[in-house]
Structure 1
Amino acid sequence: MPVIIGLDIGTSSTKAIAFDEQGKVVSSAYQPYSILNPQPNYSEQDPDEVFRAVLLALQKSTSQLNGATLAGISFSSAMHSLIAVDAQGNPLTNCIIWADNRSQVQADDLRVTPTGLDIYHYTGTPIHPMSPLCKLMWFRQYQPNLLQQAYKFISIKEYVWYKLFGRFQVDYSIASATGLFNIYTHTWYEPALEAAGITAAQLSEPVSPLYQISPQYINFLQLDSLAQVPFIIGASDGCLANLGAGATVPGRAALTIGTSGAIRVTAPQPAADPQQRLFSYILTENQYVVGGAVNNGGIILRWFRDNFAEAEKAEAQRLGVDPYEILSQEAAAVPAGSEGLLFVPYLLGERAPIWDAQARGLFFGVSITHTKAHFLRAVFEGIVFGIYQVGQALTETTGPIDVIYASGGFARSPFWVQLVADIFNKKVILAGTVESSAWGAAMLALQALNLAPDTLSLPDQTAHEQEYLPNPKRHAVYMQNFSIFEKLYPLLKDQLAAIGNLPKE
């Protein structure tokens, strides 16, 4: 039985998941790593720690195949990371990830100019500190010597690819999320390069997401047993989540909530938003994924767990269950709408739809009757409200959403998935695997290796485990809350920015 490993390099871990041709999981492995915050607004990772995690995840997953034939390995990866390397591929910086906001000033200045609007329309990437374009502009201002010293500026996926194969190559999908790549011509975009202060020679060679490496070039270090297995370069995690979930036709949206979150649709062409709220990234040469990503997904629930849920963690340990299961049960015991308590979840600034790195979170409407459980439920609701706002922008730009395909860690929580159904007032479908990015990567490999005719023929074969239908009464409650929620940030934008810049003692 041939299997494909989808190797998903995420923000907090790498997953290596082996699938058969129908998308059934044959083996899986998970290897976590840390996020470094050396200064306020900095979010980095050690690229070698991530690479070691990739190797370990691959080793663990392949050791569980039990005789199945490994036909290929395909990559999925988080977007927007940036590493400066020398000519031998040695890092000159840590990996600066999407959550890094140090280039906020550069992004704010560029965004409101005609050049910024032009770059957005041609690259499909909103002007925001997440993008490698803005990160490079920050280097240009504060570390100009690095721009001259660096041989290449690459993503974490490119770093892993180079470590394995000795080639600086990037797939169109990851390239399309840099703010430096023309999504119409599939070439580096000169006006963006000029803004960043670099040349195309300092970036990797763009290749198709179906590109595969020839076995004779493979240097597997400690993975010699895989020396004859073809590797497919794959695409970005967000785009592959749509493919893996089956959200590839009009009216179908894919919603992913992991560390961050996003809602996306697949389209045959980019869909630039006049308000610059949405991205248009490349899935394959003829398919684009349009949507918006939020910084504040499951990481906000983790913040609540780590700071306010010692009792719940202890109870989970006693029962041998995940602490999030206990938290979900507590939140579910509170009425929909948290009895008038609202949470604006912008603890990490925010990407779509407001694109404001200075944004801050707040609880609003606190009364003496509210308990910790109310605050907890408000956190769940606030995260989904933030994504619902993106869904509204997506509907305005690309057309109505009929059904939502859910994936990511949140899809393991029935309470959270039902909350999405109720707030969006849409049917939510769970795919046969919540690891839709890894399955999407495997699907690209099946096409590249001629084991499937094309990617669009596969989603109908993907089993759907469960459907969640919206509750109209709860939806009405949520819409009353949301009508207040969506006004809070515009009203308090200046105050939130000011309180975030107060001097420290």
Structure 2
Amino acid sequence: MKSYMLGVDIGTTSTKAVLFDLKGNAFQQSSVEYPLNVPEPGAAEQDPKEILEAVKESIRTVMKRSEIDKNALKFISFSAAMHSVIAVDKEGNPLTPSITWADQRSEPYAEKIKIQTGLELYKKTGTPIHPMSPLTNICWIREEKPDIFKQTAKFIGIKEYVFKAFFNEYVVDHSIASATGLLNIYTMDWDAEALEIAGIGPDQLSKLVPTTSQYKDIDPILADEMGISSEVTFIIGANDGCLANLGVDAVMPGEVAITIGTSGAIRTVTDKPVTDEKGRTFCYALTENHWVIGGPVNNGGMVLRWLRDEFCSEEVKIAKEQNQNPYDLITDRIDQVAAGSEGLLFHPYLSGERAPSWNANARGSFFGLAMHHKREHMMRAVLEGINMNIYMVLLALEELIGTPKEVRATGGFAHSAVWRQMVADIFGQEVHVPETVESACLGAAILGLYAMGEIDDLSEVKKMVKTRTINHPDKEKGLVYKELLPIFIRLSRLYEQEYEAIVDFQNQYTNRI
């Protein structure tokens, strides 16, 4: 009987499940979406029960569509979005929604920690001090929701919630834990200083386990509900960022992965924890011998969507009439404008920013706007701004690892030839696009093979991931960007002095309405 493996990625907007054979070939997939709720300004929450049901439904759908014998499924391995936190009571009932990485309400507490001990704490935990962090969100719950804080037995993430439902145990893998701001990445135990800042004890967090940990004997009723054997092995897996690198074959020294979807990130793998003296990059665990360092950005595809909605009604109308993708028309229009947008720059910080500035108050701006600029120049400048900001993260990474040997692309942007080419031109690097279905799901499956002893080394991924296309940098366009990038970087630093002032004004204005 042929054997299969299932990679499940519990994401911010959906849960995806992909069925692979043991050579990494995809056979079937399913995706179940759920909303991101914004009940008040700055909030970004989800219903954990809804996500649990999405996990079960995605597995059930894949098994039903594939029609494989349930005993042919060798294991299920998990990826999950980082930084979620849920307060639960003694019975395991959620006292709060799942507070996601996009939630900004803990910003005042993040700033306080930054001032008191921010850089030193970051160097121990590998997680920059920012409102995305469970550490700062627990502080927010403690101060803003004291009644809930007193009732809380555990603070857990979304994958922990799922595994508690499946195996009645609170466990967290080292990878997810290393993105909480609460784990000491050198001792691989909960950090005493971080716990003191949060006002909690280690007993209020889950049991720490390696990313290769295996679980069996799921409740037969749950197994039957998902169409799987109750004896199938579950691999706890890692976080989505680490597994995306694995899934696109960016695990060797000098290999860098760029992911741009709604948000974005740039990451590379090292053989030991590495932090940045300036606090610009994260450091998260993949396995005991693999650490992923890099930086996430808030402003990726969501800024392109803002451009579509606010600037591109003409393209949206034509696309609807011709049954086309509006983004194809937008990028075609962008491609008609010269590199550098004739001296127009755009800082894409529409929703604050994580790397490299880690400033929740950052705001967007056009600079250099003149009479000769048209709508198309602004459109191109927006896309260039997204990519220049990610390049700034690469510059921080280069101080730690040197110039990358290879850049591999994943996420929605990898489908756009115009976007990929712009990245190649700005980075001055070839951009390799792998033939892969869902990188985090494949990464989870490969980690599962490693956990099960089916492969001896994660480098075996090279046999499973082939390159679909390569974008080569254009030297002339690259020279244009080399002139503009120093201006872009200097401006981003100058604007930092005014971000807080403009945010204060915006908040006052909102309160007046």
Asked if these proteins are the same fold (TM beyond 0.5), I'd say yes
Counterpart of 1:63 in 2: which secondary structure? helix
More moved, 68-77 vs 441-450: 68-77
Residue of structure 2 equivalent to 1:286: 289
Residue of structure 1 equivalent to 2:374: 371
Question: How much identity, in percent, do the aligned residues show?
Answer: 45
Residue of structure 2 equivalent to 1:335: 338
TM-score by length of 2: 0.94
Residue of structure 2 equivalent to 1:482: 485
Match of 2:432 among 416, 429, 434: 429
Residue of structure 1 equivalent to 2:123: 121
Query: Which letter maps to 1:233?
Result: I
Aligned-partner Cα distance in 1 for 2:92–2:481:
50
Say whether the 8 Å CA contact 1:341–1:375 is kept in structure 2.
yes
The structural deviation recorded for 1:218 is: 6.0
The structural deviation recorded for 1:198 is: 0.6
Query: Which letter maps to 1:70?
Result: L
1:102 matches 2:97: no
Residue of structure 2 equivalent to 1:174: 176
Counterpart of 2:403 in 1: which secondary structure? coil
Counterpart of 1:459 in 2: which secondary structure? helix
Match of 2:199 among 188, 197, 200: 197
1:466 matches 2:464: no
1:315 matches 2:318: yes
1:75 matches 2:82: no
The structural deviation recorded for 1:84 is: 0.7
- How far does the alpha carbon of each residue in 1:215-235 deviate from its partner, in whole angstroms, 9 at most, with x for none? 255652732544332211110
Query: Which letter maps to 1:55?
Result: K
Residue of structure 2 equivalent to 1:148: 150
Match of 1:85 among 77, 85, 88: 88
Change (3 A) 1:157 1:121: same
- How far does the alpha carbon of each residue in 1:246-304 deviate from its partner, in whole angstroms, 9 at most, with x for none? 11111111111111111111001111111000111000111100111111111111222
Counterpart of 1:501 in 2: which secondary structure? helix
Aligned-partner Cα distance in 2 for 1:385–1:442:
33
- How far does the alpha carbon of each residue in 1:429-448 deviate from its partner, in whole angstroms, 9 at most, with x for none? 11121521111101011112
Residue of structure 2 equivalent to 1:61: 62
Query: Which letter maps to 1:423?
Result: I
Residue of structure 2 equivalent to 1:360: 363
Residue of structure 2 equivalent to 1:19: 20
More moved, 75-84 vs 159-168: 159-168
1:164 matches 2:166: yes
More moved, 419-428 vs 220-229: 220-229
1:44 matches 2:40: no
Aligned-partner Cα distance in 2 for 1:19–1:322:
29
Say whether the 8 Å CA contact 2:408–2:432 is kept in structure 1.
yes
Aligned-partner Cα distance in 2 for 1:81–1:218:
28
Aligned-partner Cα distance in 2 for 1:66–1:324:
36
Say whether the 8 Å CA contact 1:406–1:434 is kept in structure 2.
no
Aligned-partner Cα distance in 2 for 1:360–1:97:
21
Q: Residues 196-345 of structure 1 correspond to what in structure 2 (within 5 A)?
A: 196-217=198-219, 220=222, 222-345=225-348
* RMSD of aligned Cα (Å): 1.7
Counterpart of 1:249 in 2: which secondary structure? coil
Query: Which letter maps to 1:28?
Result: Q
Query: Which letter maps to 1:464?
Result: T
Say whether the 8 Å CA contact 1:244–1:459 is kept in structure 2.
no
The structural deviation recorded for 1:472 is: 1.0
Residue of structure 2 equivalent to 1:453: 456
- How far does the alpha carbon of each residue in 1:406-452 deviate from its partner, in whole angstroms, 9 at most, with x for none? 11111111111111111100111111215211111010111122222
The structural deviation recorded for 1:460 is: 4.0
Aligned-partner Cα distance in 2 for 1:145–1:368:
57
Change (3 A) 1:403 1:162: same
Say whether the 8 Å CA contact 2:60–2:227 is kept in structure 1.
no
Query: Which letter maps to 2:177?
Result: A
Say whether the 8 Å CA contact 1:164–1:218 is kept in structure 2.
no
The structural deviation recorded for 1:53 is: 2.1
The structural deviation recorded for 1:118 is: 2.9
More moved, 433-442 vs 318-327: 318-327
- How far does the alpha carbon of each residue in 1:299-343 deviate from its partner, in whole angstroms, 9 at most, with x for none? 111222233333333333343343322222222122211222211
Say whether the 8 Å CA contact 2:25–2:464 is kept in structure 1.
no
More moved, 351-360 vs 64-73: 64-73
The structural deviation recorded for 1:465 is: 1.0
The structural deviation recorded for 1:55 is: 2.2
Aligned-partner Cα distance in 1 for 2:470–2:251:
18
TM-score by length of 1: 0.96
Aligned-partner Cα distance in 1 for 2:166–2:338:
52
Aligned-partner Cα distance in 2 for 1:291–1:102:
24
Aligned residues: 504
More moved, 162-171 vs 225-234: 225-234
Say whether the 8 Å CA contact 2:285–2:291 is kept in structure 1.
yes
Say whether the 8 Å CA contact 1:220–1:226 is kept in structure 2.
no
1:416 matches 2:410: no
Aligned-partner Cα distance in 2 for 1:161–1:335:
51
Could you tell me which runs of 5 or more consecutive residues in structure 1 were left unpaired when the two chains were aligned: none
Say whether the 8 Å CA contact 2:101–2:133 is kept in structure 1.
yes
The structural deviation recorded for 1:192 is: 0.5
Change (3 A) 1:66 1:486: same
Could you tell me which runs of 5 or more consecutive residues in structure 2 were left unpaired when the two chains were aligned: none
Aligned-partner Cα distance in 1 for 2:320–2:75:
38
- How far does the alpha carbon of each residue in 1:101-128 deviate from its partner, in whole angstroms, 9 at most, with x for none? 1111211121133x33332111111111
The structural deviation recorded for 1:83 is: 0.8
Aligned-partner Cα distance in 2 for 1:66–1:374:
51
More moved, 428-437 vs 400-409: 428-437
Aligned-partner Cα distance in 1 for 2:461–2:469:
19
